[in-house]
Amino acid sequence: MKCVKCRDKAAVHIRRHNSAFCPACFQEYFTNQVARAIKEDHMFTHRDRILVAVSGGKDSLALWDVLMNLGYDTAGLHIHQGIFEYSASSFAKTTQFAEARHAKLITIDLAAEGDLDIPGVVSSTRRTQCSACGVIKRHYFNRVAVEGGYTVTATGHNLDDEAARLLGNVLRWQTPYLAAQSPVLEATHPRLVKKVKPLYRLSEYETAAFAFLRGVDYIVEECPFSHDAIQLQYKEVLNQLEQRSPGTKQSFVLGFMREGRQAFAATTEVHLKECPSCGYPTTGTVCGFCRLQQEVQKAQAGGRK
């Protein structure tokens, strides 16, 4: 098969577009897709200061790489979760990537933040790893952006991630989650920073191919706590449907953005208050992060008695 752009030997085949690219043209295509999403979905401009969440995996490092290549003003935020070897390795890959590019990297070490490392939180509260991790990551990601004067936060969610999440949300018809699932979430409060997902049009396969071709050294292992196998099963059935009808995931996600989401957004109203403890916006009384922190502190006080 030949590259659709330069007729050289193709290395990456994209069935849903019925096209194939050589390594150089694929990187150009990938970069253009990201640039197009940023522009068409009004994600940010070259005047913005962008905080990129970097885990050390292929998606987040590919995203940061593209954004730097496109000349955006970025910094990386890595949250060290204290998950044994996995976190140590994630941290190493991330710092190595940032140092090689002389890029600014901010690191939050959860163990140093009042024992908020994930194994610690799980042992001192009744939370599951994934729910604790989600609450903590969202909080710091927004807080570091607000305090550092960043105007946009960006994550590496790809098309497969978005399609799997969407499938889970429609199978249970979780209308508030459906209303909130978007590659662009505007800041609706002075202490909330706009959130974007510039890779949402690109598949996991494409992101992996891009990271590989760019020589990005990323962590391949999944988090040892990620037994969120239901999300993996959603990805698997979507892959089966994609196999038979290439473009299924794309039309599912893009069709939702175009046709579906507005139906739910119209029926869902969100009222934000300020958490009396941390001052950051919440839909509840005390925010989820402060509640978690209080649970950890209470457990520690109990342990000291």
Q: Which residues bind a copy of itself (CB under 8 A)?
A: 170-173, 175, 230, 233-234, 236-237, 240-241, 244-245, 248, 251-252, 255-256, 258-260, 262-264, 266-267
68-103: buried (b, 16+ CB within 10 Å) or exposed (e) per residue? Answer: beeebbbbbbbbbbbbeebbeebbebbbebbeeeeb
In whole angstroms, the minimum distance from the beta carbon of 15 to a copy of itself comes to 17
Four-CA torsion 146, 147, 153, 157, nearest 10 degrees: -110
Nearer to a copy of itself, 222 or 236 (CB): 236
Nearer to a copy of itself, 133 or 179 (CB): 179
Nearer to a copy of itself, 81 or 169 (CB): 169
In whole angstroms, the minimum distance from the beta carbon of 165 to a copy of itself comes to 14
Contact indicator for 154, 50 with CB cutoff of 8 Å: yes
In whole angstroms, the minimum distance from the beta carbon of 263 to a copy of itself comes to 4
Per the DSSP assignment, residues forming a β-bridge with 108 are 79
Nearer to a copy of itself, 92 or 237 (CB): 237
Cα Rg of the chain (Å, integer) = 20
In whole angstroms, the minimum distance from the beta carbon of 225 to a copy of itself comes to 19
Nearer to a copy of itself, 130 or 170 (CB): 170
Contact indicator for 116, 79 with CB cutoff of 8 Å: no
Nearer to a copy of itself, 127 or 235 (CB): 235
Nearest CA to 157 out of 186, 197, 194, 196 is that of 197
In whole angstroms, the minimum distance from the beta carbon of 173 to a copy of itself comes to 4
In whole angstroms, the minimum distance from the beta carbon of 164 to a copy of itself comes to 12
Nearest CA to 213 out of 98, 62, 63 is that of 62
* DSSP codes joined into one string, 152-210: EEE----HHHHHHHHHHHHHTT-HHHHHH--SEE---STT--EEE-TTTTS-HHHHHHH
In whole angstroms, the minimum distance from the beta carbon of 43 to a copy of itself comes to 22
Q: How many CA atoms lie within 13 A of 111 on its CB side?
A: 8
Question: Which residue do the tokens 């459906």 mark?
Answer: 178
Nearer to a copy of itself, 64 or 256 (CB): 256
